[in-house]
A and B are shown apart, each in its own frame.
Chain A
Amino acid sequence: MSNAALGADYAQAVERLAGRVLGALRGTQVPLPAVSDADRPADTTALAAVRVMGPDLFAPALFRRQPLPQPDRDTLDTALRVFPPRPGDSVEARWRDRTTAALLARGASGAHPASPYAGGEPYAGEDSERAALAEAAGIAGIAGIVEDAEDTELTWQERSQRMARLAPLALPEVDGPYQQRACLHVRALSRGATRSLMRRDHPTAARLVRWLALAQSRGASPALDVPTVLDHLRLWGAPSTRTALDLAIARRLLAATEGGPR
């Protein structure tokens, strides 16, 4: 199979999986787990889709404060073995994998509000979470959790580009350096979102608006009116399923704000 055909196959699989996650998020007939029985045991294409979605797979469970169903956890494990994290992976890919690993390690007892990366309050599963992180970090060839020293020097364009790729980290009940940076750098991200909107790059705009929604839900003040931008993207975006998922998560994050809409 040609590389182009492979890429197209994977992209289609991502769209299908995003549709199941979106359905589960909206609470329509598509139930959890996100990976359907028909797709198990999953072939490489389905596993690739699972790896691309990464932390987003947990979105319906996190919003419901329920654990990720065991079949999905098993599929994720398998996906991580077939497509393991590697030392050459981009910074963004590594952080997505870390988040996935940490969420997996939370265990069957459910979601925890504390940061999976800091000391925080002790909670059940913390040891296994640390072990999972260490394993994920070890697999990726990184000794411990490495902060990007150059983060403070990023222009608003560079920061927006990075955060767009890290959009799957914008989830409820998940905290860490990038979630904190989203709150700290709302102006830069608002600029990035506006730039993407004007370029009519709606998928990127949706990813950035997802971060703005998360930041707003945690008390920060974006320079844009997030509900209005979400409406704009709904009307103009003609979104892929993946982008529709980003928008749905953004709306749910906003709704979680005190006094927020819906």
Chain B
Amino acid sequence: MSAHGPAAEEVRTTALRTGTRALDWLHRNHVQGTFADGATAELAEPDSVYKPLAELSLAASLVMRDAAFPAAQRDTAGELLDFAWDQLRGGDLLYERQLRFPAMTDPLETYVHFHRAGYRHERLQELLAHLASLTSYREYEHVPNRRMAVANATRVVGDADPTDWPARTAATWLGSTPEPWTMDWMTAYHVTHTVFHLTDWGAQPHALPPHLRDYLATWLPVWTDVWAEIEEWDLVAELVIVDACMPQPAFEPDAWRRLAAAQHDDGLLPRDGRTGGDGDSRRFEDHYHTAVVATVAASLVLSRLGA
């Protein structure tokens, strides 16, 4: 049934297993990411609950969108979205936060995942449409791949998107196709996010311009190998997502084998080889991000491989 070879079939099996377990781990542990009573738009510590909620929602919304996991996992994703939406008071928290801090992008970048899954907050939409129309909002000085995040989220929620995508892409590190050996850890994340937003998380692989496709096809295997060797699992999972965003993914089994081997029996996928042991180093807040990216990676890979 598959147009892909045996290596891709191994990837399918491993991705399904690893992704399912990661998603289930997220679900079992998600209540740790609950707002204390009376959380307001000011959010004294956005990293502790708000961001995990947003990232959970990202993973869950893509599981729904791609519909490549079995029904049980789609139900799990639905529950996570309901939980997160409830925590955000049906979107009111996002609306209040955007009113309070018009220059911030996280309300839009969070709302987009719910919008993708069918949730709506009318007043927030109206506010976002107005902001999207402002030159200022588009030109606030964010890092280049943040601007692409905003541009992609804008078009996904249905607002007019006057973004000059080629120009925005050219402004990123990836867009210049630089010397590949000079990549460092942070730049790797900039590259992965550039690809995520350019392709709307793999929904539009052909949005990648040919010169970037060629560049990534050549160097992605090297970067993946280098970071897998030093057990940077979070980054490896993001690089796997990048491969799945390409028009012709390589679907190399090795990265998935290593991720699967690093995953614990309870589904915890440690962010790197130095953590994830007992006690304190198994905290949700430290490792939920890796579960998120592993879930997204599996969802997209399964979707691209086909039924």
| Contacts from A to B (Cβ < 8 Å) | 156-157, 187, 190-191, 193-195, 197-199, 223-225, 228-229, 232
A199 to B228 alpha-carbon distance, docked (Å): 12
Interface 9-mer from B41-49, B139-147, B191-199, B216-224? B216-224
**Which B residues touch A193, using CB under 8 A?**
181
Contact with B181, one of A157, A187, A232 (Cβ below 8 angstroms): A232
Inter-chain contact A195/B226, CB cutoff 8 Å: yes
CB closest residue in chain B, given A232: B181
Give every chain A residue within 8 A of B225 (Cβ-Cβ).
157, 195
- The binding surface of chain B is classed by DSSP as helix
Interface residue from B179, B222, B229 paired with A228 (Cβ < 8 Å): B179
Are A187 and B218 within 8 A (Cβ)? Answer: yes
CB contacts (< 8 Å) of A157 on chain B: these are 225
Does the CB pair A224–B221 fall under 8 Å? Answer: no
Contacts A156-B221, A191-B221, A194-B219: A199 and B226 contacting too (C-beta < 8 A)? Answer: yes
| B interface residues, Cβ below 8 angstroms from A | 179-181, 183, 218-219, 221-223, 225-226, 229
Q: Which residue of A lies closest to B230 (CB)?
A: A199
Measured CA separation A224–B218 after assembly (Å): 11
Do B218 and A190 touch across chains, with their CB atoms under 8 A apart? yes
Contacts A156-B221, A187-B218, A223-B218 given; does A194 touch B229 at CB 8 Å: no
A225 to B219, CA, bound (A): 14
Contacts of B218 in A (CB 8 A): 187, 190-191, 223
Contacts of A194 in B (CB 8 A): 180-181, 219, 222
Contact of A191 with B226 at beta-carbon distance under 8 Å, contacts A198-B181, A225-B179 already known: no
Chain A residue contacts of B226, Cβ below 8 A: 195, 198-199
Find out whether the CB atom of A229 lies under 8 angstroms from the CB atom of B221: no
A195 to B221, CA, bound (A): 10
Nearest Cβ in chain A — how far from B96, in angstroms? 45
Residues of chain A contacted by B181 (CB below 8 angstroms) = 193-194, 197-198, 224, 229, 232
Cα distance, A228 to B222, chains bound together (Å): 19
CB distance from A213 to the nearest CB of B (A): 16
10 A-B pairs closest in CB distance: A197-B181, A194-B181, A198-B226, A191-B222, A194-B222, A194-B180, A195-B222, A198-B181, A223-B218, A195-B226
Contacts of B183 in A (CB 8 A): 198
Kindly list chain B residues whose C-beta atoms are within 8 Å of the C-beta of A224: 179-181
Given A194-B181, A229-B181; 19 other pairs, CB 8 A cutoff:
A156-B221, A187-B218, A190-B218, A191-B218, A191-B219, A191-B221, A191-B222, A193-B181, A194-B180, A194-B219, A195-B225, A195-B226, A198-B181, A198-B183, A198-B223, A223-B218, A224-B180, A224-B181, A225-B179
- In the complex formed, the residue of B with least CB distance to A156 is B221
Chain B residue at minimal CB-CB distance from A199: B226
Q: Is the CB–CB distance between A198 and B179 below 8 Å?
A: no
Which residues of the other chain, A, contact B229 by a CB distance below 8 angstroms?
199
Distance in angstroms from B304 CB to nearest chain A CB is 22
Whose C-beta in chain A lies nearest to the C-beta of B227? A198
Report Cα–Cα, A198/B218, bound state, in Å.
15
Q: How far, in whole Å, are A191 and B218 apart by their CA atoms in the complex?
A: 7
A195 to B183, CA, bound (A): 11
State A232–B221 Cα separation when bound (angstroms): 22
| A228-B181 Cα distance, complex, nearest whole Å | 11
Complex-state Cα separation, A190 to B217, whole angstroms: 13
| Distance between Cα atoms of A224 and B182 in the complex (Å) | 12
